[in-house]
Amino acid sequence: MARILLFGNLNRDRLLRLDRPVVPGGRLSGVSEGHRLGGAGANVGTALVWAGHQVRVCCAIGSDEAGDWLLEQARAQGLEVDWVDRRAPNTAEVLILRSPGGERTILRIDAPPPFVPAPDFDPDGFDCLFVNSQSAEVAAVMRRAAGRALVVAQMPRVPLGSWPAHILIASEDDLPARIAADPLAAGRELAGDLLQWVIVTKGVRGAVAYGAEGIVSVPASPAVRVVDTTGAGDAFAAAVVTGALAGWPMEQILAEASCWSALAIASPTSLPPESLRARLKSRFGRPDAS
């Protein structure tokens, strides 16, 4: 069991089921399906808890009722939330717009400032940092951790300068053309000599890892009925962290991550589905989260 420090949002998602896909200038109708726990902090963290790890989440939420609800829901998933920053007055509302084909559009409204660690924030005692954050200050924590812990991070969507990680993960859909042309070179500009792999997910075309030793690719898992794509990338990332901590070869990491992602796509949830919990229990002998 590893101790994992996770920088990622806890979201109170409001799900709207649409009658047609979102298009510019369109007129849509939708049905509200209520609120659910989401965000990378919850989605990645829950899968890692199910894989047998201890996970502490760092993020910023409001001091309002919605923030209370988020902490209650996160604790129920087995996540440690003692370091969640609640100085903002309001918790952002996150709308998940789900089209009939299962594709989702995410709309974040009035988001609080990102979690900013104190200048002397020390990640001592953790075996791994997982970072899905747009806070440039987190890079200092990554640098402090790099010599003693595994650092896995989503490639930031905005220029943040240094982003030191052993493994960077990105979706092909989020990559500018310059980065997509040579992901490893772009990753090295962010992470420096620390970088070992850049993993790019390509949807139905599988996933590719670019490293100093070469390129490793795997196809997508066998076709599944797409119910809700929310959280698929988070499930993929959780598998990458699990495999890297276990010392798996990259081909095995990608294959397992693609499987976890496929299970998420086939479920109407944002959090990892019960099918993944069952897989972890049977395949790895992990106990159920309490």
Cα–Cα distance for residue pair 284/163, rounded to 1 Å = 32
**Residues in contact with 247: Cβ distance below 8 Å, sequence separation at least 6, in sequence order:** none
Q: What is the pLDDT of residues 107-116, one digit of tens each?
A: 888 776 788 8
DSSP-assigned beta bridge partners for residue 106: 96
3-state secondary structure of 141: helix
User: Each residue of 61-104: pLDDT tens digit?
Assistant: 999 999 999 999 999 999 999 999 999 999 988 888 888 877 88
**Band (288; pLDDT cuts 50, 70, 90):** very low
| CATH at residue 162 | 3.40.1190.20
Q: Do residues 14 and 96 make contact, with C-beta atoms less than 8 angstroms apart?
A: yes
- Alpha-carbon distances of 40 from 10, 161, 285, rounded to whole Å: 7, 22, 25
Domain count within the chain? 1
**131 located within any domain:** yes
Residues 75, 42: Cα–Cα separation, whole Å? 10
Half-sphere exposure of residue 226: CA atoms within 13 angstroms, side-chain side: 13
Q: How confident is the model at residue 33 (pLDDT cuts 50, 70, 90)?
A: confident
pLDDT of 290? 37
For 214: left if phi > 0, alpha if psi spans -120 to 50, otherwise beta; the answer is left
pLDDT surpassing 80 at residue 224? no
Is pLDDT at 121 greater than 80 in this prediction? yes
| Residue at 289 is within a domain | no
Cβ contact 90:60 at 8 Å: no
Residue 51 lies in a domain: yes
Q: Which residue has the tokens 């808890």?
A: 49
Q: Kindly report the pTM of this predicted structure.
A: 0.91
Residue 28 lies in a domain: yes
290 lies in a domain? Answer: no
Give me the domain span that covers residue 244. 3-119+126-284
Q: What is the pLDDT of residue 106?
A: 84
Judge contact between 217 and 258, C-beta under 8 A: no
pLDDT at 289: 41
Q: Are strands 60-62 and 85-88 parallel, antiparallel or unpaired?
A: parallel
